[in-house]
Each structure stands twice: as structure tokens, then as C-alpha cells.
Amino acid sequence: MPNKSAVPITLATVKAACSQCSLHELCLSEGLTKEELAKLDTLVGARRKLKRQQNLYRAGDPFEALYAVRTGFFKTDILLEDGRDQVTGFQMAGEILGMDGIGTETHTCNAVALEDSEVCVIPFAQLEQLSREIQTLQHNFHKVMSRELVRDQGLMMLLGTMRAEERLAAFLLNMSQRFTSRGYSPAEFHLRMTREEIGSYLGLKLETVSRAFSRFQEEGFIAVQQKHIRILDSDGLKKLLNHQPR
Amino acid sequence: MPNKSAVPITLATVKAACSQCSLHELCLSEGLTKEELAKLDTLVGARRKLKRQQNLYRAGDPFEALYAVRTGFFKTDILLEDGRDQVTGFQMAGEILGMDGIGTETHTCNAVALEDSEVCVIPFAQLEQLSREIQTLQHNFHKVMSRELVRDQGLMMLLGTMRAEERLAAFLLNMSQRFTSRGYSPAEFHLRMTREEIGSYLGLKLETVSRAFSRFQEEGFIAVQQKHIRILDSDGLKKLLNHQPR
DNA sequence: TGGTCGCTTTGATCCATGTCAATACGATAA
DNA sequence: TTATCGTATTGACATGGATCAAAGCGACCA
């Protein structure tokens, strides 16, 4: 067995997931002891790489595992029989995908990589088993699900009560905040999704999204160049949010 | 002691919750053994009665317990600083309230009784503990949360892609289905919420809801009399759903 | 190097739903 | 019975965003 110091790099490390992962606080492993982390590692052994546009899973696929995004960027969407579809979320490093499948043993949405990506595979039966042993893990998992519920509530609010520019402002601020909490610039980032996907997520048409971007640029809130966004006046965007007509 | 056949009524029954509850399949107790049910009963001892318009909890309240609706009818809603609010759901017998609070230890929405109601109080720490012992309970709980996520996805779809009449048709069919699965008539029911609350839930103004009701009545899909609804042609309503313009 | 293709921007017009306002209805209480 | 109040319906009009259409821009590939 190789000699181990604080954060040893060994053969095991290549496989070891959670104990070495930089996404602790976002993921399931927060607050676990070393021993508990080790157990989680054995569970989360497998990784899976996906090319841009590749499906992680599809609606109807049998549910077996959750996925933690390691690198890359995903969207989830639902497709109705009549052809309408809606993007229900965008997921980045540290976020968990697949929880929609627990209730019915079948995934209810599609998860697609928007760029080359990698996920940790978390076989669900094993996660349940381990979370019966490790209280902290159990609670972390419950928190993750609950936060997802709260996120959805926020999106309902957005879809139900906000006008187009408010929605886009909320979207940009949310992206900025999530990039920030991953150590990237709060003010400058690259959107991985198209205007159409943003529109679908926000309940708007792509033209409306494009116009709102242009408007924000005119107002000096942001600089847009295709998918590259620079936020120049985040307070300006925030003001848009609480300051609706009636 | 009164004579009873299959399900005996004893002193214990008054307190016993889950083991005697008619809402098994909707709630957390499905598939539990007698012994496991008994344990769950000790946990779910307390009940709480609410008068119409009374809050079960409010956004900002510390999170301590989940609540299973025994009788009555609730809404959950969120209130933004600027005064806008949105109803995020309506809950009826057998449904679980409060899961929004797990992630932050604080409730993020308000839960209000729309008629005199009663809930089972499920202290969350104890639920987690017991679900470490009882695998089936653990899995049931995960299923409940997951189904809530899927419900939210459906609502996003509704809010993001459907037009007013489709939304109301979907709402009525959903109500009908939920009343049905509780043993009530699929075709005739009493709405507990106002047009404004329906509108808020569906992302519409109350006038639009009212007009859609009137339209459905003209078309012969339903008979409306204030809050009393009779569905005359549920296929007609269903057709509205998949049959959108583009 | 030019051509194609996907994505984005922008303009002109239309329409579903919001807004504002008046009236009606039904329950409750006096 | 009548008064009151919350809720619901209906009408007239306004408007935000959808729709339709035409360029523009970049990336990739042949």
C-alpha cells in the first residue's frame, strides 16, 4: 500500500471520487468523516463521460442511479407527445441529476450534455443502503432533494409572475451566482445553451430572449457577444427584478 | 366496546395514525409490516387541526416536521417582497406538506388551510431516524419527494408552454383524477379555492380563469356553478390538451 | 477560399391575455 | 326582508410577447 499523507495521490485516487472531489459542499459528501467518505467512494466508483449533445438518460429509461456532475454542463427537458418541449433545468458541476426517476423507477425527463462532460454514477439502491448507515449522508441527500424542490418553486414563480426581461435578468443573476460559487468570475461567463434553450427554460420564444439581451446591452447592464456574457451592472439587473409594473 | 369486523376500533385507534389510516398508498406507510407500522405510529402520534384560512406554517418558520394531510384542503404559496405572490400547489388528503424546509431548516413557503382541516405531524428528525431502520419507509419517503419533483416539472411545462384554456383543462383533469383516487366522484366536485387562487397557480389572472370556465360551459365540457364543478365531457377537455395551435 | 448550416438579431404585424370597470351573485348578518 | 361583502362574471380596450420573415454572423468543412 503506498504511503499516504494529507492528500495523497495514489492509484486509488484515480478512482476515488468523493474523498478527493472539490465539490464537497455542493454534493453529498459534506460533513462526512474520513471513514464515511471512504465508504462513499466505494459506492461512487464509476464515472461516465459524455460528448456534447449526448444523452445521460432519456424519459422512459429505467431508473438505476443518480449522477453527480463532475465537469461540464447539462440540461434536462421534457417532451410532450404533441411536440412541445420544455427545458426544466440546467445543471453544472456538483449538481445531482436523476432524482426524477426515484418515484416511478423510470426517468421522466431527458438529460443531455451541452458540452463534453463527466459524471459520477451513484447507484441508487446502494446510496439508500449507505444512507441508512451514515446519518450525515442521509441528511445531505434529503437536503439536496429539498433544495431542488425549492429551486422548482422559484422557477414556478418566475414562469407564473414575471415578465420577459425580469425572467432573463433572474436567469443571468442565477447563472452568475452559480459560476461564482464554483470559483469562476461572477461577471463574465460563457453560456452553453442556445437562445432557444434559454427561452424554453424561461417560457419565452427565442426572439424574445434575443431582444431582451439586446435591450440589456443598450441599457448598459451587460455586454453580449453571442454566448459570451459580461455583466457590467448587476445592480441594474437586480433592480429589474423587484421593480415590476404593478 | 363496539363490535367490529376486519378493522377493530379500540382505544388505541384514536391515537394510532398510520396503521389505521385509509391513505396508505398515498402516504408513507405503504408496504410496511405490522411491526414497522406500529413504530411509525409512535412517531406520528400528534395531530393538528386547522380552521379555514389558518396557516400550517409560514415562510421563515423553522423547519421541524412534515405534515400529512388527513382531512381538508391546503394551498402553498410564496410571497415576494414586491407583493407578488404565487400559489405553488394545492394539497389534499394523503399528501405531504413541508418538504421545502428540509434543505435550509426553514420553510420557504406558506401553507394555508382552505377549509377546516387536520394533519398528522411527522417530526422530521425522528422520521430520518426511523427510515434508517426501516428500508421500506426510507424508500417511500424518497418516492414521495421524487414524485413532488415530477409534479413540479409538470407544472413548469404547464406554465411554460400552455395557453390559458389548456392550463385550466389540465387543472380540472388533475383535480378530477385526485378526487377519484380518493374515492370521490370523478365528475362532480367542489373547488375549495377562489378563481384568483386558481389563476395564481396557473399563472393567469382571475378574469381569464373565469372566462375559460364560461367558455368550457358554452362548449358543453363542464357545468359550473360558482365553486361547484360538474365535468360533462372529460374527453373534450383532454382533447384541448394535446391539440394546441403550433 | 468559399459554401453551408446553425444560431442570432432585428423588423413588422397580430393576437392572447392583461387591465380596468361595471355588474351580478350568494352567503351572512342585521 | 334588506344591507354588506367577498367572489365571480362580463365587456371594452391596451399591450407584451408571439409569429412571420429577412438578414447577419461565425464556425466548420470540403
Contact B80, B18 (CB under 8 A): no
**Tell me, in Å, how far CA of B212 is from C1' of C25?**
18
Give nearest nucleotide to A225 (CA–C1').
Answer: C8
Q: Beta partners for A68?
A: A96, A120
Q: Where are the beta strands (DSSP E) in chain A?
A: 47-50, 55-57, 65-71, 73-79, 85-92, 96-97, 110-113, 117-123, 188-190, 222-225, 228-231
User: If DSSP states are collapsed to H, E and C, what string results for A51-95?
Assistant: CCCCEEECCCCECCEEEEEEECEEEEEEECCCCCEEEEEEEECCC
**Tens digits of per-residue pLDDT, A47-82?**
999 999 999 999 999 999 999 999 999 999 999 888
Closest residue to B100, CB basis, from A103, A132, A150: A150
Any CB–CB contact under 8 A between B239 and chain A? no
What does the pLDDT read at residue B12? Answer: 39
A212 CA to C1 C1' in angstroms comes to: 36
Inter-chain touch B156–A81, beta carbons under 8 Å:
no
Length of chain A: 246
**pLDDT at residue B18 tops 80:** no
Nearest 5°: the CA angle B160, B76, B51 is 150
Residue by residue, DSSP assigns B202-220 as HT--HHHHHHHHHHHHHTT
Asked if B146's CB is within 8 angstroms of A99's CB, the reply is yes
pLDDT at B26: 65
Name the percent of chain B lying above pLDDT 90.
76
CA–CA distance, A20 with A14 (Å, rounded to integer): 9
Could B88 and A244 be called an inter-chain contact, meaning their C-beta atoms sit closer than 8 Å?
no
Q: Which residue of B has its CA nearest to A89?
A: B153
Please answer yes or no on whether A161 and B81 come within 8 Å at the CB atom.
no
Confidence of residue A18 (pLDDT cuts 50, 70, 90): confident
Q: What is the pLDDT of residues B121-136, one digit of tens each?
A: 999 999 999 999 999 9
Q: Which helix (H) or strand (E) holds A152?
A: helix A135-161
Backbone angles phi, psi at A228, to 5 degrees: -90, 125
Q: B6 is written with which cell numbers?
A: 376486519
**pLDDT tens, A132-162?**
999 999 999 999 999 999 999 999 999 999 9
Residue A246 — pLDDT band, cuts 50, 70, 90? very low
Q: What is the mean pLDDT of residues A197-221?
A: 97
Residue B235: how many CB atoms within 10 A of its CB?
8
Residue B197 has pLDDT above 90, yes or no: yes
What's the predicted TM-score (pTM) here? Answer: 0.91
